[in-house]
Structure 1
Amino acid sequence: MNLIPENAQEVEVNGATVPFYKYDKDGKVVYQFDSSSCGHPEPMINAMSGLQMLSGNELLIMINAKAPMGLFPKIEADFNFKVEDMEGGKFKITFTKKTKNDEATDFDDTGCAGGGGCTN
């Protein structure tokens, strides 16, 4: 099952360990990556790398083997996220940037220690 749209173009994302793709959908710029076959801590690293690029009218879509529960507390002050089940046991997580000036997210914090634990 190919999850990347035909109009997508690969883009370089600083710090990423998987390919990222960029495309337009419904008037918004979408960045997408698939970390479903990656082991710990790559999904967290790739999510943090992608989130750093987002501006107000852009989306980041993460395809992953599990919902990244350890990621959500780290980013919830600055980003909204929606988790959807996909066919084949994967998850689609869509991130959008909240509209506020002060960023609280520490993009260098790519570890999984803490209350939420790490799930790939």
Structure 2
Amino acid sequence: MNTNHFPSDAKLLHVDNTTVPFFSYVQEGIEYISFDTSLCVPPEPMVNAMIALELLDSPHKKVVMINHRSPIGLLAKVQPFYDIDVTELEGGKLQLIFSYKEGMSDKVDLSQKQCAG
């Protein structure tokens, strides 16, 4: 996995049931939980993202996902519940940063981790 998108002080984070390594780092008082699914095929990006979003339980955390394209199925499920910033990276990959949304993030159903189609 290419960790170029994560800071050098990022630490490996053990998270059950993921298919890619997760990393954790802190910047300006915010804990970032990051992973790269850009080399994965469906349903791995959605499964890993939904597991990561389960860890997003306060405004002091963010989830960073690197993917090879926009995860349309994932966004359809979770977009109303999180603030999501999307940035195109070199090589056409996307970086999605999910932020906790007060009054909304606690209402999301993350139990269904597969894409419907």
After TM superposition, is the score higher than 0.5? yes
Cα distance in 2 for residues equivalent to 1:105 and 1:73 = 12
Cα distance in 1 for residues equivalent to 2:22 and 2:105 = 27
Cα distance in 1 for residues equivalent to 2:76 and 2:110 = 13
Q: Does 1:22 align with 2:3?
A: no
Deviations 1:25-84 (A, max 9, x none): 122111110000001100000000000001221111000000111111211232111111
Q: Does 1:70 align with 2:63?
A: no
The question of whether the paired residues in 2 share the 8 Å contact of 1:31 and 1:60 is answered with yes
Q: 1:94 to 1:102 in 2, by over 3 A?
A: closer
Give runs of aligned pairs for residues 1-120 of structure 1, distance below 5 A.
2-54=4-56, 55-100=58-103, 103-113=106-116
Residue 46 of structure 1 aligns with an amino acid whose one-letter code is: N
Using the size of structure 2 for normalisation, the TM-score is 0.89
5+ residue gaps, structure 2: none
The 3-state SS of whatever aligns with 1:66 is: coil
Cα distance in 2 for residues equivalent to 1:102 and 1:95 = 10
Higher RCO (CA 8 Å, separation ≥ 6 residues): 1
**Could you say what the CA RMSD is over the residues aligned between the two structures, in angstroms?**
1.6
5+ residue gaps, structure 1: none
Cα distance in 2 for residues equivalent to 1:11 and 1:88 = 26
Task: Considering fraction of residues, name the structure with more helix.
Answer: 2
Report deviation, 1:102.
Answer: 7.2
Deviations 1:76-120 (A, max 9, x none): 23211111111011000000111116733221212222xxx5xxx
Q: What is the number of residues matched between the two proteins?
A: 114
Residue 59 of structure 1 aligns with an amino acid whose one-letter code is: K
Using the size of structure 1 for normalisation, the TM-score is 0.87
